[in-house]
Amino acid sequence: MIPPQQVIELGLQAAAASGRSDETIVIVSDRAEASLRWAGNSMTTNGVSTSRTTAVISIVRQGDTARVGTRGSSAVDESAVAALVSAATDAAHAAPEARDNAPLLTGSGEPADWDDPVPTTGAGAFAEVARALSKGFAGTDRLYGYAHHVVETTLVGTSTGLRRRFTQPTGSVEINAKRGHASAWAGVSAPWFTDVPLDSMLEDLSVRLGWAERTVELPAGRYETLMPPSTVADMMIYLGWSMDGRGAQEGRTALSAPGGGTRVGEKLTDLALTMYSDPRAPGLECAPFVHTAAGSERLSVFDNGLGIDRVDWIRDGAISSLVYPRAAAAEFGTAPAVPADNLLMTGGTADLADMVAATERGLLLTTLWYIRTVDPTTLLLTGLTRDGVYLIEDGRVTAAVNNFRFNESPLDLLRRATEAGVPEKTLPREWSDWATRAVMPTLRIPDFHMSSVSQAQ
Amino acid sequence: MSPRHGIDEDFLALPRARLADAALSAATAGGASYADLRVHAITTEIVQLRDGELESAVLDREVGLAVRVIVDGTWGFASHAGLRPDIAADSARHAVGVAVTLAALNAERIELADEPVYPDATWVSNYRIDPFAIPTDEKVALLREYSARLLASDGVDHVSAMVMSVKEQTFYADTFGSAITQQRVRIMPTLEAVSVDAAAGNFESMRTLAPPTARGWEAVADDRVWDWSGELAELPVLLAEKTKSPSVVAGPTDLVIDPTNLWLTIHESIGHATEYDRAIGYEAAYAGTSFATPDKLNTLRYGSPVMNVTADRTIEYGLATIGYDAEGVAAQDWDLVRRGIFVGYQLDRVFAKRLGKDRSNGCSYADSAHHVPIQRMPNVSLQPGTDDLSTADLIGRVSDGLYIVGDKSWSIDMQRYNFQFTGQRFFRIRDGRLDGQVRDVAYQATTTDFWNSMEAVGGPSTWRLGGAFNCGKAQPGQVAAVSHGCPSALFRGVNVLNTRTESGRG
């Protein structure tokens, strides 16, 4: 494989030599991945992979209009690059006008790390985890789970001189433990697979399985509920994905306001909660610039290389920003706002033990599952509780409860929350295929809506 | 039926035999008792329009090679984007290395069920027009024209249009001696119309019912495969009626469910529940398990006696249809539920052996060279009744109920018991006839209660093939395309929710 930097220069040179496009963007992502799965105290699947994706975005301008052609390929041979540029340019000439036209960003040349070798990973990343796991496999609880490590380096180069590079490490370990009919879950985000607290995860799982020695059947209904950080993350990530500005402006999302316009400015809660994304958040670092081969409501190919800063989507309990690429921001007379690939929320100072101790009777959840939109007008979502619903009585966990199907809106949860605990780094279980970087508080909901009982264990 | 197309020259031009020789001999030399090589190319084009304007058109081709080995009873897997014999050999050695490194974690010795050897097989799906022979601008132009028809209608404020085209090419070779080259295409067109009531801060949408299918561009281009003219003319009228319709009254309700909605309920509550890997816990930490455990095989009453469900990888235009699976097993068809009794599972070569079967039923699939083959869903279909009831006949049996058309939202628990679905449109049934639409409907049930409440199934004339491109399973996540055929069917006393009430807005 030729180095990714060379792919970028070859692509830009080929485009310049052809003289058939006005501007060109080349994005190369080199990805190394290792995975390990286990079930019933035995490994099931594993693997390592090395791959590259190259995207060429060709832009043809005429007056105030622009046409875009995009071609992507996983091919790694040098000869493929010129063919990709040629195909993208052909596509641009045949394309209708782009709706998100904006000038390309210009750059100040190569960043200091531009030519550094691309870091990688392999099965060796799991050495420590595997040692601790094999001890767990020798125990009496049945263990299921997954360890995953991806190191992906993305380089963006444009014919306007912009060069940006970022290496994104993404890792996670999830363990599901079963004892009899009881099931518990623990998960952590581990970007570089250092210091994965596997032993303490196993201890925590054992405590939770112990809580299930007594079980109580409860019917559907509204319950005071402590939503731990993973569950808050899963609901708030969905809210974040639903916060595109255009849809709200056009009256077609839950962020549209009655009478027209958006809900920006609406106070959801008197709790001083701020929900934000920030590419420089410690331990949750992610790309501080836009890199995308495909346009959408949230991203524009014209914005490739655009710096991403912290954005407060909710500030002090009020909706404060929606997502706008530059062209949409100009259209709607607002500032561009681009989400980084993480999500954080502020909270209070109480830890989970404090919040349990302050609960007379309520439910403590572990994780949520199979979350889908039921009513987009209110962002009503359905889903299930999974791997541990616990009954709190007089400030103590006293039993495990059956699972439930819930119907709730993340907007309504914020509107009704009465307490937020200390924010913690967490793994959002439902969305961990896409989102592993989150910090969230525990939320106390006085009347969480459990719509029906699920027999699933 | 003989295919209308051969395998594309550019895929045939890859050094398939040399890659196989390099990978399989390096694996064997490294100590593998078994190895397979898969060269997997997926070409995807997604064209998206919003209000008739191009939002995105991206054509992407992914190709790579994967080597899977068994060393001393343990799997190892490695993949690479490079298609050279030396890379294939290195990948084989990496796969052996992975198996050796992680062997201590393996407690179950891997063994494969037997399968005949297919030394030089090819298979191509049955499509008329290769979607990749149609230039992007022609696709954009057609979607613009379809969008314009909807936008020109009263009450339609916005239109989203999308067509996704996929071509999948694979070469598979194993140390038993099979060498199989295959190619299939699939296409998914959708248009959605949105009606906005800005003053009330409300909106409503409705999507086309055209299913994704393992056909070519002919499924989109004109009215011969799907009646686009009829559907695009009807959609704004139905949407306008929906925006003015009353909110549903919640409670146990008799339902006639159209195949355009029921296919997804089959997918979630039967398709996933009869995956053997789930049933024995392989997906326990992620996609979940199944209530249909091996001890219930041939005894569990899954549904009423009119319930007959088959699995196949053979049906024409089925999204899971293929010649041979990712382990070189030839495509088959079999029963999952017969007269309401649970009788079958989906298997690969390892699980067939574990269940004590002679042969796999061919459900191994990986969605990319960079992913391990796992047990994936075949086409799973509810069979029609023999007395050829029409949908109107079924509606005629209901005095007060709902007729549900089109799929929308879906969710089911991790043991495949409790599900909740919405739809595109819901018609009130009164005294055996349709009586206008209602809105804010979801239906919620437990799988076996639901299927046991099925009183009647429509006949062959009501049977339609639906499906999805985006069925998710495994970690790292894999997607698969799968079809589900079914007739209209009548269910008694299913719990219907009012989604406004569910949100506390009553």
> What is the reported pLDDT for B371?
95
Question: Are A251 and B500 within 8 A, CB to CB?
Answer: no
**Inter-chain residue contact B285 with A259, CB threshold 8 Å:** no
CA distances, A349 to each of A342, A346, A352, B224 (Å): 22, 10, 10, 64
Handedness of CA B125, B129, B131, B133 (dihedral sign): positive
Nearest CB among A133, A374, A386 relative to B442 is that of A374
Q: Is the peptide bond before A219 cis (omega within 30 degrees of 0)?
A: no
Contact B502 A374 (CB under 8 A): yes
Sign of CA dihedral B203, B208, B211, B212: negative
Of A95, A133, A256, the CB nearest to B54: A95
Substitution target in A77, A252, A379, A449 with the highest count of B β-carbons within 10 Å is: A252
Phi, psi dihedral angles at A241 (to 5 degrees):
-70, -20
The label of the residue with tokens 């799906």 reads: B125
Q: What is the pLDDT of residue B299?
A: 98
* Nearest Cβ partner for B410 among A48, A372, A412: A372
- Find tokens 């437990």 and name the residue: B446
Partner residue facing A455 (CB), from B82, B415, B504: B415
Name B407's bridge partners: B423
pLDDT band at A108; cut points 50, 70, 90 = confident
| Chain B contact set for A126 (CB, 8 A) | 102
**Nearest residue of B to residue A47 by CA position?**
B77
Of A46, A76, A294, the CB nearest to B98: A46
Q: What is the ipTM of this complex?
A: 0.95
For CA atoms B90, B96, B97, B99, the dihedral sign is positive
> Measured between alpha carbons, how far is B170 from B63 in angstroms, rounded to an integer?
9
Give every CB contact of residue A428 below 8 A, 6+ residues apart in sequence.
Answer: A230, A233, A234, A237, A435, A436, A438
Give B499→chain A minimum CA distance, Å.
Answer: 7
d(CA B132, CA B68): 31
- pLDDT at residue A146 is higher than 60: yes
Residues of B in contact with A98 (CB under 8 A): 54
In A, minimum Cα distance to B200 occurs at: A258
Q: In chain B, which residues have their Cβ closer than 8 Å to the Cβ of A95?
A: 54, 57, 136-137, 140
CB contact under 8 A, A45 and B374: yes
CA dihedral B140, B145, B150, B156 (to 10 degrees): 60
Strand bridging mode B341-342 / B333-338: antiparallel
Distance from CA of A147 to the nearest CA of B (A): 9
Tokens, residue B169: 């090419």
Separation in Å, CA A7 to CA A26, A77, B145 = 8, 10, 38
- Interchain CB distance below 8 Å, B101 and A123: yes
Contact B284 A126 (CB under 8 A): no
Per residue in A326-361, pLDDT (tens digit) is 999 999 999 999 999 999 999 999 999 999 999 999
Q: B422 contacts in A (CB within 8 Å)?
A: 374
Contact between B113 and B349 under an 8 Å Cβ cutoff? The reply is yes
Alpha carbons within 13 angstroms on the beta-carbon side of residue B300 total: 23
Which residues of chain B carry a pLDDT beneath 50? none
Q: What are phi and psi of B12, to 5 degrees?
A: -65, -25
Provide, as residue numbers in chain A, all residues whose Cβ is less than 8 Å from the Cβ of B281.
Answer: 39-40, 142, 144
pLDDT of residue A308: 98
User: Could you say which of A51, A146, A374 has the minimum Cβ distance to residue B422?
Assistant: A374
B interface test, pick of A25, A30, A43 with most B CB neighbours within 10 Å: A43
Whole-number pLDDT of residue A194: 87
* DSSP E strand stretches across B392-439: 400-412, 418-430, 433-438
Query: Strand ranges (DSSP E) for A317-395?
Result: 318-319, 343-345, 361-364, 367-375, 380-386, 389-393
B238 Cβ partners below 8 Å, 6+ apart? Answer: B206, B425, B437
pLDDT tens, A12-71? 999 999 999 999 999 999 999 999 999 999 999 888 899 999 999 999 999 999 999 999
At residue B322, the 3 state secondary structure works out as: coil
Looking up tokens 């024209």, which residue turns up? B145
Q: Which residue of B has its CA nearest to A454?
A: B418
Which of A35, A52, A91 minimises the CB distance to B475?
A35
How far is the C-alpha of B39 from the C-alpha of B254, rounded, in Å? 50
Mean of per-residue pLDDT scores for chain A: 96
Q: What is the mean pLDDT of residues A221-246?
A: 98
Distance of residue A76 Cα from the nearest chain B Cα, in angstroms: 6
Q: For residue A439, with 0-12 CB atoms within 10 Å meaning exposed, 13-18 middle and 19 or more buried, which class applies?
A: buried
Contact flag B409-A45 (C-beta cutoff 8 Å): no
The pLDDT, as a whole number, for residue A68 is 97
Identity of the residue in B78, B82, B158 whose CB atom sits nearest the CB atom of A47? B78
Q: What digits encode the pLDDT tens for the residues A162-221?
A: 999 999 999 999 999 999 999 999 999 999 988 899 999 999 999 999 999 999 999 999
What is the share, in percent, of chain A residues with pLDDT greater than 90?
Answer: 94
Contact A46 B76 (CB under 8 A): yes
Give B193's contacts in chain A (Cβ within 8 Å): none
Q: How many CB pairs under 8 A join A and B?
A: 289
Name residue B427's amino acid: F
**Contact status, residue B154 vs residue B196, Cβ threshold 8 Å:** no
What is the rounded CA–CA span in Å between residue B295 and residue B288?
18
Q: DSSP letter at B271?
A: I
B137 contacts A47? CB cut-off 8 A: no
- pLDDT score of B2: 64
To the nearest whole Å, the CA of B17 is away from the closest chain A CA by 19
Burial pattern B339-363, b for ≥16 Cβ within 10 A else e, equals ebbbbbbbbbbbbbbbbeeebbbbb
